[in-house]
């Protein structure tokens, strides 16, 4: 499930010309991919909102979680495969 969200968010980055290899963009992708309360059609808006605000305290807190580390590993693998 998260893998599919990651793939669609990477595709969105290409469409809106966000650099998915940028660390801040990746953190936003991972945060949105982890939020299973978001409807599929809201993920793009959530990604752009997260990127615009980049609330560093929240991102830094999120980076300390195991789920974030696992999601980042999936994201990096997906980026390598593309």
pLDDT digits (tens, 9 = 90+) for 36-74: 888 888 999 999 998 988 777 777 788 889 999 999 999
Q: What is the DSSP letter of 37?
A: T
The pLDDT assigned to 58 comes to 78
The pLDDT assigned to 36 comes to 87
Question: Per-residue pLDDT for 82 more than 80?
Answer: no
Rounded to 10 degrees, the C-alpha dihedral 61/63/64/68 comes to 120
Q: What is the DSSP letter of 35?
A: -
pLDDT mean over 19-28: 93
The pLDDT assigned to 76 comes to 94
């Amino acid at each position: 499930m998260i893998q599919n969200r990651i793939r669609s968010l990477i595709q969105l980055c290409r469409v809106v010309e966000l650099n998915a290899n940028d660390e801040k963009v990746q953190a936003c992708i991972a945060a949105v991919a982890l939020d299973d309360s978001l409807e599929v059609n809201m993920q793009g808006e959530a990604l752009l909102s997260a990127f615009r605000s980049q609330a560093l305290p929240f991102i830094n807190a999120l980076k300390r979680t195991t789920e974030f580390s696992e999601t980042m590993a999936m994201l990096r693998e997906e980026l390598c495969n593309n």
